[in-house]
Amino acid sequence: MAYMRTALLLAALTGLFLAAGFLIGGQQGMVLAFVIACAMNLFAYWNADKLVLRMYGARPVDRASAPEFHDLVAELAERAQLPMPKVYIIDNPQPNAFATGRNPENAAVAATTGLLQMLNRDEIAGVMAHELAHVKNRDSLTMTITAVLAGAIGMLANFAFFFGGSRDRESPLGGIGALLVMLLAPLAAMLVQFAISRSREYEADRIGAAISGRPRSLASALAKISNGAAQIPNEAAESNPATAHLFIINPLHGRGADSLFSTHPATQNRIERLLALENTMGEAGSMGQEFSPAPRATPTRRSTIPRSTPRGPWG
């Protein structure tokens, strides 16, 4: 059901883009909009992951430079039956993480130094399992294409503002159509983009909890990350708000109403679902058929990095 909803929302976003082109330039405008959408999606398919990682100054790490973090991701990837993704660390005090990549074979996961310092090992495992769930579901590609289409609709709105509507007979509303595109298209695109992001976050929470084996640890991590993100700014994200939906928790401080205008579900709702899932899993006595329980971390595996230290066992 979640996949069907995402497909319908993506279709709506594509239709909105074509409709905006039609209102501005008639049939020729719609054809041009279609060509632009195809070109931008092709570019995003091959290059968006590199652009996002570069945008946030992510540095690649391996077993030599960040052994605990790298091995944890490797363990979770094996449990999720995924190829080992590339692992990155972002030097940023705000606790957060995201996944990117066009498919599981070309995926990357990134965590901030703030997250690695603030969370214990079980909580970090829950977060990275959530990101691997996005990889498994190919959400990273879906959400990247969504961001590209939403940005393209914004570009059409700017075009309508500066150049006005087409005088072509095929343009149904002329200048009024351009005005509608300028005012309504970006808002509609934003709402569809947010709806897609929220639907995928719930599913990634569910599958991530199954991969890590500890829904409560992911719930605890979400609470800590949400509190940390509310107090610690992420300047790179503020400069690139179209990427906010990629993170496990909204990194932006200028957040409005939680329901309609939020890139993420309410954190408390996610926590409640995870705790309910834990109860269900406890009654079943196992993690189900997809994944086997992960070995519980020993106290010595807990991160003890002081906040002022940018590097350490976790990177």
* Mean pLDDT for the stretch of residues 169-194: 57
Say if residue 46 is exposed, middle or buried (CB neighbours under 10 Å; 0-12, 13-18, 19+).
Answer: exposed
* Mean pLDDT for the stretch of residues 69-92: 97
Catalytic amino acids? 131
Higher pLDDT, 296 or 249: 249
Looking at residue 290, its pLDDT comes to: 47
Looking at residue 62, its pLDDT comes to: 96
- Dig out the tokens for 284 from the structure: 């079943």
Q: Are strands 59-61 and 86-90 parallel, antiparallel or unpaired?
A: antiparallel
Crossing angle (nearest 10°) for helices 175-212 and 121-137: 130
Short-list 276, 96, 268, 80, CA closest to 88: 96
Cα separation, 98 vs 249, in Å, equals 9
Higher pLDDT, 102 or 178: 102
Length of the chain: 315
pLDDT (tens digit, 9 = 90+) per residue, 26-70? 677 667 777 876 777 677 778 878 989 999 999 999 999 999 999
* Mean pLDDT for the stretch of residues 79-96: 97
Does residue 180 register a pLDDT over 70? no
Cα separation, 274 vs 18, in Å, equals 39
Looking at residue 99, its pLDDT comes to: 94
- Dig out the tokens for 168 from the structure: 């072509």
Which amino acid belongs to residue 101? G
